[in-house]
């Protein structure tokens, strides 16, 4: 459900603008929207998750002195061409890998030189930090359609209200379709009250726009004007305008229909015309706003798109262009976002804020969102925020963050492995206990899953709300028929999705896929692979092999493996057991062996950089109760006195990495590993021995694999317990030679 995250907002446009003679061609070669998006209430349909971080810090400030209107700015052509600072990025930031990091629409904000009146320090520096020019700026938000979706779409609207209260713009505007409508007065009034109740939670003013769902009547006793009277009685005028900080906001009505008959419709051009009365009023408003920095228009239908809307908008567009200061026009209705600039005017269509949405390509405009518009006298920025993705900075306390981190890695272990009988059949009840270690409730969904469809799992999922400090137990029945042991066999997992519930947000923890162990002790032993089929474990630095349930005792020990590394970074772990019980290293090309003896650790190193990238080397660590030794290609290269019982525990073993929090495998080896064996005995002594290319079972062998065969979703173990070690990440088997 949760996916990972990229941009903080979906940037649509941030345009440098003058008031007269502007020409803003459509962007060339760039995406109109980009970033990582997610809609919590519709996550399953959209399949996208993202993150927008924002906070609102409201400090009481004295009212500023009135400022004169900014003079008209020279016309500026804004295109998709690189900005001047792209040359700096190319020269000084070579690690940037995506063109979006150079994506800029607006010109740089004006600055002023730092003076003693505004900039104070008692430190010396040659760096002159420019200050932002003290110019008027403000922001507003535009909501998309709420309707033509399920009734519970109002929850998306409520999420948007919650988001915007964190951002605290000056005001919120809409583009119509506020309620479901298409009904008679009684249900219309119920829907109106619900919508207004949710919007009343905004801490800033909001302004309605009438859409077809808000005024179309369906049912008996239809008035000639349908719901227009209800709308103006409860929402406000069908068209109106107001001024704010030397900008004008004009709300239009795009569902007048045929005033003679009262017929309304969206599929015939003759019903999508602006009346002469509204058109004359609009021209009066444009004349009144002639000295404004910006004029913004809002209506429901994006008539400029033509089609069933006809060509009536052409006359309106001409008036807007002639006005010279109309910056943008916002509409909705089509339930997808798009940007269609023309003749210096930005035509912006919003998708939905709770309405029906197909989620066709969420990042390209099919999503629940709202636009945040930042206005300066000569510049306007537009950004789309996915609903529900603004985080409340004040809610993310240190306590919450620490508890969420602990909860994300809390130890989870199914109560028993899935046991195959001699025929290959499984029939078993499986339980998982999930503890809540936070001080907040947690909502959980646990789903059994497998890449092998021949498993029968019931139920197919389970839900629970776990109170603070308590645990929930999830139980499933897993079965499979006899005789299905083949190359298509895959194991089972329990997929855990959890959300920590806070008053203002549901904090989604990363999805966990808990592997269920497999007990294959009663299955026939597989024969060793022929030398011609010799393969090795291939790792890319993020992958590993995880062995759980292997006891190494407290006495003598030998850990060995063949390695062929592509490179040797500072950390290159060959084998490690959790709780620092033991590890075999090859960091920076230096062989090393460590083990824990009681409360102290012993570390033995070989010659620095004695391992060659791209070449096979055998590394062995040996402890015999008196000494710890490390061998390279059969030669003793390091030793340290060491006595006492080894620290022993139930932590897992990782091949190709180290053990992280909660027993997770953290891969850090890049290359191939083969001939891995752990033996509860000191196999090698003296100054040299001849390593086996393919180690075999010997007395005391605890784990062994020549990585020649896959079984289920891991490696077939060749040790005495036929242990199966699951692959982590994208670890694979590849030819050893």
Percent of the chain whose pLDDT exceeds 70: 84
Is residue 187 predicted with pLDDT exceeding 80? yes
Please tell me the distance from the alpha carbon of residue 593 to that of residue 582, in angstroms, as a whole number.
8
Q: Report the distance separating Cα 209 and Cα 332, nearest Å.
A: 10
The arithmetic mean of pLDDT across residues 724-733, rounded, is 81
Distance CA 118, CA 112 (A): 10
What is the average pLDDT across 47-75?
A: 35
pLDDT in tens, 627-647: 999 999 999 999 999 999 998
**Site of tokens 């059969």:** 634
Among 665, 660, 514, smallest CA distance to 579 is for 660
Cα–Cα distances in angstroms (integers) from residue 370 to residues 142, 148, 564, in the given order: 6, 17, 53
Q: What integer pLDDT is reported at residue 662 of this predicted model?
A: 63
User: What separation in angstroms does the CA of 449 have from each of 61, 457, 463, 489, 491?
Assistant: 56, 8, 15, 13, 9
pLDDT digits (tens, 9 = 90+) for 551-590: 899 999 999 999 999 999 999 999 999 878 999 999 999 9
Q: How far apart are CA 536 and CA 681, in angstroms?
A: 25
Three-class SS state of 322: helix
Report the alpha-carbon distance of residue 547 to residue 262 in Å, rounded.
Answer: 75
Closest-CA residue to 250 (of 242, 258, 260): 242
Task: Give pLDDT, residue 229.
Answer: 97
Residue for token pair 């567009």? 317
**Tens of pLDDT along 391-427?**
999 999 999 999 999 999 998 989 989 999 999 899 9
- Domains plus CATH for the chain? 138-391 (3.60.21.10), 402-519 (2.60.40.10), 531-735 (2.60.120.200)
Apex CA 217: angle with CA 216 and CA 223, to 5°? 115
Q: What is the pLDDT of residues 488-516, one digit of tens each?
A: 888 899 999 999 999 888 999 999 999 89
CA torsion, points 11, 17, 22, 23, in degrees to nearest 10? Answer: -30
**Residues 260, 266, 267, 268, CA torsion sign:** positive
Q: What share of the chain is helix, strand, coil (3-state, %, to 5)?
A: 15, 30, 50
Split at pLDDT 50, 70, 90, the class of 27 is very low
Closest CA to 552 of 648, 621, 654, 643: 648
* pLDDT given for residue 383 in this prediction: 96
Give, in order, the Cα–Cα distances in Å from 190 to each of 196, 235, 610.
Answer: 10, 13, 79
- What single DSSP character describes residue 718? -
Question: 384 and 13 in contact (C-beta within 8 Å)?
Answer: no
Residue 397: which residues within 8 A CB-CB, separation 6 or more?
none
Task: Dig out the tokens for 14 from the structure.
Answer: 């941030």
pLDDT band of 71, cuts 50, 70, 90: very low
Average pLDDT value over all residues in the chain: 85
Provide the β-strand partners of residue 478: 428, 457
* pLDDT in the model for residue 488: 80
Q: What are phi and psi of 654, to 5 degrees?
A: -120, 130
Q: Give the phi and the psi of residue 46 in degrees, each rounded to 5.
A: -80, -35
pLDDT tens readout for residues 112-145: 998 889 898 888 998 889 998 888 899 999 999 9
Residue 525's pLDDT is what? 65
523 and 679 Cβ atoms separated by less than 8 Å: no
Q: Which of 618, 605, 611 is nearest to 588 (CA)?
A: 611
- DSSP lists the bridge partners of residue 735 as 535
Let me know: does 334 contact 148? Beta carbons within 8 Å: no
Please list the alpha-helical segments (H only) found in 96-200: 154-167, 185-199
**Around Cβ 4, how many Cβ atoms within 10 Å?**
10
pLDDT at 214 over 60: yes
Write the DSSP string, 38-99: --GGGHHHH-----EE--------PPPPP-PPPPPPPP-B--SSPPTTHHHHHHH-TT---G
* C-alpha span between 467 and 107 (Å, rounded): 52
* pLDDT, tens digit, 9 for 90 and up, residues 653-691: 999 998 876 667 787 899 999 999 999 999 999 999 999
pLDDT digits (tens, 9 = 90+) for 78-107: 333 334 466 666 777 777 766 666 666 678
The predicted pLDDT at position 647 comes to 86
Phi and psi, residue 553, nearest 5°: 70, -165
Long-range contacts of 262-269 (CB under 8 A, 24+ apart): 262/222, 262/223, 262/224, 262/225, 262/226, 264/212, 264/215, 264/216, 264/226, 266/212, 266/301, 266/308, 266/333, 267/308, 268/308, 269/308, 269/309, 269/310, 269/311, 269/312
* Helical (H) or strand (E) element with 573: strand 573-577
């Amino acid at each position: 459900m949760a996916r990972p995250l990229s941009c903080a907002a979906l940037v649509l446009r941030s345009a440098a603008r003058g008031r007269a003679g502007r020409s803003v061609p459509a962007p060339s070669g760039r995406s109109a929207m980009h970033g990582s998006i997610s809609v919590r209430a519709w996550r399953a349909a959209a399949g996208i998750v993202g993150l927008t971080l924002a906070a609102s810090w409201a400090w009481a400030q004295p009212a500023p002195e009135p400022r004169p209107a900014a003079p008209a700015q020279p016309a500026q052509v804004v295109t998709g061409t690189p900005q001047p600072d792209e040359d700096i990025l190319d020269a000084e930031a070579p690690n940037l890998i995506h063109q979006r990091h150079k994506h800029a629409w607006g010109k740089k904000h004006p600055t002023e030189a730092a003076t003693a009146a505004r900039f104070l320090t008692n430190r010396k520096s040659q760096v002159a930090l420019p200050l932002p020019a003290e110019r008027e700026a403000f922001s507003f938000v535009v909501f998309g359609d709420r309707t033509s979706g399920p009734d519970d779409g109002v929850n998306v609207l409520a999420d948007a209200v919650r988001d915007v209260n964190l951002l605290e713009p000056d005001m919120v505007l809409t583009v119509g379709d506020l309620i479901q409508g298409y009904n008679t007065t009684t249900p219309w009034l119920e829907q109106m009250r619900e919508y207004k109740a949710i919007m009343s939670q905004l801490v800033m003013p909001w302004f309605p726009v009438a859409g077809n769902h808000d005024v179309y009547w369906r049912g008996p006793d239809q008035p000639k004007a349908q719901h227009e009277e209800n709308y103006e009685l409860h929402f406000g005028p069908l068209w109106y305008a107001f001024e704010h900080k030397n900008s004008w906001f004009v709300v239009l009505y795009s569902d007048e229909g045929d005033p003679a008959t009262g017929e309304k419709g969206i599929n015939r051009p003759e019903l999508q015309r602006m009346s002469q009365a509204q058109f004359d009023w609009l021209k009066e408003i444009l004349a009144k706003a002639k000295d404004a920095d910006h004029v913004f228009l809002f209506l429901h239908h994006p008539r400029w798109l033509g089609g069933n809307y006809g060509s009536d908008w052409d006359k309106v567009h001409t008036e807007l262009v002639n006005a010279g200061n109309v910056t943008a026009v916002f509409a909705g209705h089509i339930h997808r976002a798009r940007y269609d600039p023309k003749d210096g005017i930005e035509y912006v269509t919003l998708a939905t804020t709770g309405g029906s949405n197909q989620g066709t390509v969420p990042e390209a405009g099919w999503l629940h969102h709202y636009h945040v518009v930042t206005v300066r006298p000569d510049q306007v920025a537009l950004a789309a925020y996915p609903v529900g993705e603004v985080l409340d900075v004040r809610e993310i306390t240190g306590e919450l963050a620490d508890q969420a981190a602990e909860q994300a890695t809390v130890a989870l272990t199914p109560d028993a492995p899935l046991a195959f009988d001699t025929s290959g059949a499984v029939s078993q009840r499986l339980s998982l206990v999930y503890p809540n270690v936070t001080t907040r409730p947690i909502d959980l969904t646990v789903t059994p899953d497998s890449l092998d469809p021949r498993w029968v799992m019931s139920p197919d999922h389970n839900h629970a709300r776990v109170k603070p400090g308590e645990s929930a137990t999830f139980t499933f029945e897993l079965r499979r028929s006899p005789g299905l042991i083949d190359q298509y066999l895959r194991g089972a997992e329990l997929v855990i999705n959890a959300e920590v519930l806070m008053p203002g947000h549901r904090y989604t923890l990363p999805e966990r896929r808990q592997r269920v162990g497999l007990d294959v002790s009663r299955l026939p032993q597989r024969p060793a692979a022929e030398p011609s089929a010799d393969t090795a474990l291939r790792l890319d630095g993020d992958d590993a092999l995880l062995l759980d349930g292997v006891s190494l005792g407290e006495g003598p020990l030998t850990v060995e493996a063949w390695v062929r590394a592509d490179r040797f970074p500072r950390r290159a772990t060959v084998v490690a057991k959790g709780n620092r019980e033991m590890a075999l290293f090859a960091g920076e090309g230096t062989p090393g062996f460590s083990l824990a003896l009681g409360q102290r650790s012993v570390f033995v190193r070989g010659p620095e950089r004695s391992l060659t990238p791209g070449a096979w080397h055998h590394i062995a660590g040996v402890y015999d109760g008196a000494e710890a030794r490390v061998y390279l290609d059969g030669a003793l290269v390091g030793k340290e006195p060491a006595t006492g019982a080894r620290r022993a525990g139930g932590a897992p073993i990782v091949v190709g990495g180290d053990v992280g929090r909660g027993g997770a495998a953290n891969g850090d080896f890049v290359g191939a590993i083969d001939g891995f064996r752990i033996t509860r005995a000191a196999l090698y002594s003296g100054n040299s021995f001849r390593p086996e290319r393919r180690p075999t079972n010997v007395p005391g062998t605890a784990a062994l694999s020549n990585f020649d065969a896959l079984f289920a979703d891991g490696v077939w173990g060749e040790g005495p317990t036929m242990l199966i070690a699951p692959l982590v990440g994208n670890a694979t088997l590849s030819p050893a030679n």
